[in-house]
């Protein structure tokens, strides 16, 4: 197992904690990043970190994703081969009262992560998107082919924006990127703002359970164990792959024909002609 550390952002959060713990259990070195924000009780985040800190291969850094310089310095220091990006401002309802938190963490922060990967030879970026990108889609089951052009919350809009940003970086810089659209995740250490936690809390406290939409709400849930298994396999798969320098044959054949044409002269003025590729800014 390589000694090069994997970066897990949001390591003090629900999913990031489990992913970091799984990767450590597999013998990997992990750098966990989190701002420990107070979207929900930071004491729960600190308790998760205490568990991770027991492993000497774990290192925690408290950095805000929007802190461009600190993120750039972290990436330059470790040159992570794999980045599992799970930190984000989560929650749909919270975005109504706190829109800037979403732009800072999910847009600016995501760009800083992409830039870190781009400039430091990251071989695979895995990041969390969300089923909320399906918006008001009523067709079930959802499919990755379904339209995701109508997000109905700012949270969903930032997640959709992440998918587009990741696509363009993957295209421009040949950065292998995998986005995962999570459907509501549940399991131990879960987020206290989520329905299953609230139901359990009400049961323990002997208070009534609130059921919205008159109890007719239906939803897909995913167990955290399935999420960590998938991410661990993705980390394995991609570390075994040598990233192609050129993503397709056409790029190589273009280079050959360009070299040949370079020799030709313009018949009118005898000047050498240079066929150039389209500039990335031209599309």
Ligand X SMILES: NC(=O)c1ccc[n+]([C@@H]2O[C@H](COP(=O)([O-])OP(=O)(O)OC[C@H]3O[C@@H](n4cnc5c(N)ncnc54)[C@H](O)[C@@H]3O)[C@@H](O)[C@H]2O)c1
Residues lying near ligand X in the complex (CB under 6 A) = 10, 12-16, 34-37, 39, 45, 64-66, 86-90, 105, 109, 128, 130, 182, 184-185, 191
Q: In this complex, which beta carbon is closest to ligand X, that of residue 176 or of residue 187?
A: 187
Closer Cβ to ligand X, 86 or 122, answer by number: 86
As annotated, the active-site residues are 155
Question: What is the smallest separation between the CB atom of 261 and ligand X, expressed in angstroms?
Answer: 47
Shortest Cβ distance from residue 175 to ligand X (Å)?
19
Which is closer to ligand X, CB of 16 or CB of 81? 16
Residue 263 CB neighbours (<10 A): 8
Q: Which is nearer to ligand X, 225 or 277 (CB)?
A: 225
Q: In the complex with ligand X, which residue's Cβ is closer, 43 or 249?
A: 43
The residue sitting closest to ligand X, measured at its beta carbon, is 13
Using DSSP bridges, classify how beta strands 58-62 and 124-130 pair: parallel, antiparallel or unpaired: unpaired
Pairing label, strands 177-182, 30-34: unpaired
Separation CA 87–CA 132 (nearest Å):
16
**Torsion sign across C-alpha atoms 99, 107, 135, 225:** negative
Q: Shortest Cβ distance from residue 176 to ligand X (Å)?
A: 19
d(C-alpha 243, C-alpha 253), whole Å: 19
Output the smallest distance, CB 128 to ligand X, in A: 3
What tokens does 108 get?
A: 């600016």
CB atoms within 10 A of CB 118: 16
Smallest separation, CB 134 to ligand X (Å): 11
d(CA 180, CA 266): 51
């Amino acid at each position: 197992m390589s000694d090069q550390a994997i970066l897990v952002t949001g390591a003090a959060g629900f999913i990031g904690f489990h992913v970091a713990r799984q990767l450590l259990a597999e013998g990997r070195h992990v750098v966990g990043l989190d701002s420990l924000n107070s979207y929900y009780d930071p004491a729960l985040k600190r308790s998760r970190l205490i568990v991770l800190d027991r492993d000497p291969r774990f290192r925690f850094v408290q950095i805000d994703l929007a802190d461009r310089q600190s993120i750039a310095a972290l990436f330059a220091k470790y040159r992570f081969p794999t980045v599992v990006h799970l930190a984000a401002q989560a929650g749909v309802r919270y975005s109504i009262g706190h829109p800037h938190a979403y732009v800072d963490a999910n847009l600016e922060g995501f760009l800083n992560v992409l830039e870190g990967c781009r400039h430091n030879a990251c071989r695979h970026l895995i990041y969390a998107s969300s089923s909320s990108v399906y918006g008001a889609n009523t067709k079930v089951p959802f499919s990755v082919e379904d339209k995701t052009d109508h997000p109905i919350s700012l949270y969903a809009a930032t997640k959709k924006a992440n998918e587009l940003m990741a696509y363009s970086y993957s295209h421009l810089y040949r950065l292998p990127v995998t986005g995962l659209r999570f459907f509501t995740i549940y399991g131990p250490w879960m987020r206290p703002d989520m329905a299953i936690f609230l139901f359990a809390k009400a049961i323990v406290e002997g208070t009534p359970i609130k059921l919205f939409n008159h109890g007719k709400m239906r939803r897909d849930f995913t167990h955290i164990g399935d999420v960590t298994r998938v991410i661990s396999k993705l980390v394995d798969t991609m570390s075994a792959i040598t990233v192609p320098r050129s993503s397709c044959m056409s790029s190589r054949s273009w280079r050959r024909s360009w070299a040949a044409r370079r020799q030709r002269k313009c018949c009118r003025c005898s000047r050498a002609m240079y066929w150039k590729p389209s500039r990335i800014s031209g599309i």
